[in-house]
Structure 1
Amino acid sequence: MVRTRTAGETWTPVGDGTATIAVAFPADGRRVTDVELPPVTRLQRLVRNAGLPTGRSRRRAAADVALCWDEGTVERLVASAPGRRLFSGAIWVTDRLGIEDSERLAAHREVLASLDGLWCLSRPQVDAVRAWLGPEGPPVSYLQFGIDEQFYRFAPEYPERPKVVSLGGDRDRDPATLFAALELVRQERPDVECFVATTSSLPAPDGVRTVEFVPHARARDLYASASVVALATRPNLHASGMTVGLEALSVGRPVVACATPGMDDYFRDGETGFLVTPEDPAAMAARILELLADRHMAAAMGRHGREQVERGHTTAAMCRGLLEIVA
């Protein structure tokens, strides 16, 4: 199925083999469609490895611009060339620098370098990707992430019952630090309910309920029931945890997150919650307990968080940023 939207409507590009194609029309705006990209064939990879031109000619593409959300889809995007200009996010690649086999990374770098532009969701990540691609690489821009503030609607009634919620499970989550922090919280405040969504095999502390998956509507309700939303992440450059954190702020709940590079673009320490040193359970527990002890402060931070989301962390604001990047 191909979905079409007119200019001005909110749209969110997605990964998993899907690219979003923007087609320019004379004067009256744009049409945006989502198309499935075919897998890259063995022949296409052999041609690329031989140093020959790969993919369809972009000059023959029907669309002005084609983009995919992250580098997991970019090889398909380049091979299919559905647009005259191609763009992608660079989100996960910095986790692999210095770790993955250099030959594989070199092939990935070649694909990304062939694009007309890239974006990152963290300012420090922009610098790392630019350095990796070198001076001949495409422009790399900072894109401020946003969420659907209408779906994650503000819940004005701050809960009476103390509760800590932690959702999300990307590769840089740190369940060991989170569980250790929640154990400290429960030792100090055994009345606090703790709910964690995680696929980790680590044993949860006593009194901490875990599930593997939470659908969006359930997540929204959990945020509304929370006193604090806690996010423990390992050091990374792509602001791991920002999606859940912004969703929680949108509902009006304070966030305690790890101060990894770029997180201060999304969370204001002391205003919308607290940022703590990564891999420090005691620091995380102390800030959670501080918010639990002062409901008025926690509620005020949640309100400030909602205001911050409305000012610039919405899906519509993010899409406007994307349009500026591909213009």
Structure 2
Amino acid sequence: MRDDSASAGAPVGYLDPTVHPRQAGQRVIDVFVHMARDKDADAWHRRWRAGDLVGVNDPTPYGYGRAEAMGCRVRFSTSRRENPLETLLRLGLRALTGFDPVHAFRQRRALRAADVVWTHTESQFLAVAAVLPRRGGPKVIAQSVWLFDRWEGLHPLHRWLYTRLIRRLDVLTFLSPVNMAVAQAAFPEKACRFVPFGIPSERMLEVGPRRRARLTVVAPGNDRHRDWAILVEAASALPDARVTILSMTAPKRLARGRAGVRIKVAESNEELNGHLAGASVVCVPLKPNRHASGITVIQEAVLAGVPVVATRTGGLDAYFGPDEIRFVEAGDAGALREALAEIARDPSGAAARARRAQERMRRDHLGAQSYVARHVALSRELLGRA
């Protein structure tokens, strides 16, 4: 394994903290990161140290703790112990509203003491907006993931409530430009930003030859928009292929009667890395979506030096181009079958795409460092301290 942390040729508007460190005289920003109740930073770190977080992860939730080295003081939300009645009340309110106001209310002092609040999904930013004072509170960077996938289909009462809460926020951020476009149409008066998601990308495996006796397809993921059925349909026409779906959500019935298909869960990083090391290709089959579903798995595969076949949907092509990822259209089992067969026919071409994908990650600073640096830059912009 080699260290590939050096980058060059950053796009316009990118803030790379290794190139643009905090300037002398700039004040330290007090950042409060409001996470879901099951994402406490201490518990996350313990799981990370124990190796229980499967995949490429940072010691802090989604790398937000990296902001400490970028001129910020970072505090994370914490969860308090509950008795059964408190749990019932909290979950009842969450079911009624679609977010967790009780968890946010318990953080109210830390929220109000911050200069800026970062949230990871709409569940957190809606709760923060409900708890904070309408005026005089901290700035809020409100990251949305799934909300605008289903905006048009929301119950009218939920849409009315969410609209009122969103109007209290300072800036909406998105992991996909497709998602952002829907929000801009719904809230033309709000500042919206595309902030590319990234995982720790400092280390990359060399892209090596992947000539296998059989086409070996590995397909990790638990997202609701994975199209496992179409992958199995495509693989059924490739009798020499071996497909391993690593998922807690894929229906086990899809593998019944199909000797070349396995559905299981990767219990550890060692197991996941073993599957990636033996893979001819990582496949990310998707249903149409707006939120860049699959981008984490794609980046993990690229870092591991494995060629990727993915459905072109959700704004994934804002991260990688067709010369780097083999894209197919949603719902087209024939195109997916041909893309997988192409990997077997031309492993050298697939390896060349994998190398270009790694170069794209370096060139465009796709990774946790850039993801967090953009939050810091946006925070300074909001606070007038840039």
CA distance in structure 2 between the partners assigned to 1:288 and 1:60 by the alignment: 49
Letter in 2 for 1:145: F
2:36 is the counterpart of 1:16: yes
Aligned to 2:273: 220
Match of residue 330 from structure 2: 278
Among candidates 285, 301, 304, match of residue 356 of structure 2: 304
Q: Which amino acid in the other structure matches residue 250 of structure 2? A: S
Q: How does 1:189-228 map to 2 (within 5 A)?
A: 190=240, 192-198=241-247, 199-201=249-251, 202-204=253-255, 205-228=258-281
**C-alpha distance in 2 between matches for 1:254 and 1:91:** 26
Alignment of 1:99-114 (within 5 A): 99-114=153-168
Number of residue pairs aligned between Structure 1 and Structure 2: 300
| TM alignment of 1:72-221, pairs within 5 A | 72-81=123-132, 84-132=138-186, 134-136=187-189, 138-150=190-202, 153-161=204-212, 162-185=215-238, 187=239, 190=240, 192-198=241-247, 199-201=249-251, 202-204=253-255, 205-221=258-274
Which residue number in structure 1 is paired with residue 75 of structure 2? 33
Shift of 1:279: 0.8
User: Is contact 1:58–1:81 with CA below 8 Å preserved after alignment?
Assistant: no
Q: Which has the higher strand share?
A: 1
2:113 counterpart of 1:62: yes
Partner residue, 2:122: 71
Task: Tell me by how many angstroms 1:209 deviates.
Answer: 1.2
1:67–1:77 CA contact under 8 A, matched in 2: no
Structure 1 segment 47-58 matched on structure 2, within 5 A: none
For residue 155 of structure 1, report the CA deviation from its aligned partner.
4.0
Question: 1:164 and 1:60 mapped to 2: Cα distance?
Answer: 45
Aligned in 2, Cα 1:304/1:59: closer, same or farther, shift over 3 Å? closer
Query: SS of 2:254's equivalent?
Result: coil
Partner Cα distance (1:222, 1:149) in 2: 19
The alpha carbon displacement at 1:58 in A equals 9.2
TM-score normalized with structure 2 length: 0.69
Aligned to 2:345: 293
- Report the 3-state secondary structure (helix = DSSP H, G, I; strand = E; otherwise coil) of the residue aligned with 1:89: strand
C-alpha separation in 1, matches of 2:231 and 2:111: 51
User: In 2, Cα distance between the equivalents of 1:14 and 1:61?
Assistant: 12
Task: Tell me how far apart the structure 2 counterparts of residues 255 and 60 of structure 1 sit (CA, whole Å).
Answer: 41
Q: CA deviation at 1:59?
A: 12
Give secondary structure in 2 for the equivalent of 1:256. Answer: strand
User: Residue 247 of structure 1 aligns with which residue?
Assistant: 300
Comparing both chains, which one has the higher relative contact order based on Cα–Cα distances under 8 Å and sequence gaps of 6 or more?
A: 2
1:263 — aligned with what? 316
Q: 1:223 and 1:113, CA in 2 relative to 1: closer, same or farther beyond 3 A?
A: farther
SS of residue matched to 1:36: coil
Aligned to 1:4: none
TM-align CA RMSD: 3.5
Percent identity at matched positions?
Answer: 27
After the TM superposition, list the runs of 4 or more consecutive aligned residues in structure 1 that deviate by more than 6 angstroms: 19-22, 37-43, 54-60
Q: In 2, Cα distance between the equivalents of 1:15 and 1:184?
A: 44
3-state SS of paired residue (2:77): strand
Partner of 2:44: none
Query: Counterparts of 1:98 and 1:206 in 2: how far apart (Å)?
Result: 41
Cα distance, 1:163 vs structure 2: 1.2
The verdict on how the C-alpha distance between 1:81 and 1:246 changes in structure 2, with shifts beyond 3 A counting, is: same
Between the aligned partners of 1:308 and 1:60, the Cα distance in structure 2 is 37
* 3-state SS of 1:87 partner: strand
Deviation per CA, 1:32-82, whole angstroms, max 9, x where unpaired?
Answer: 121226799799xx9xxxxxxx97999992211111111122233234449
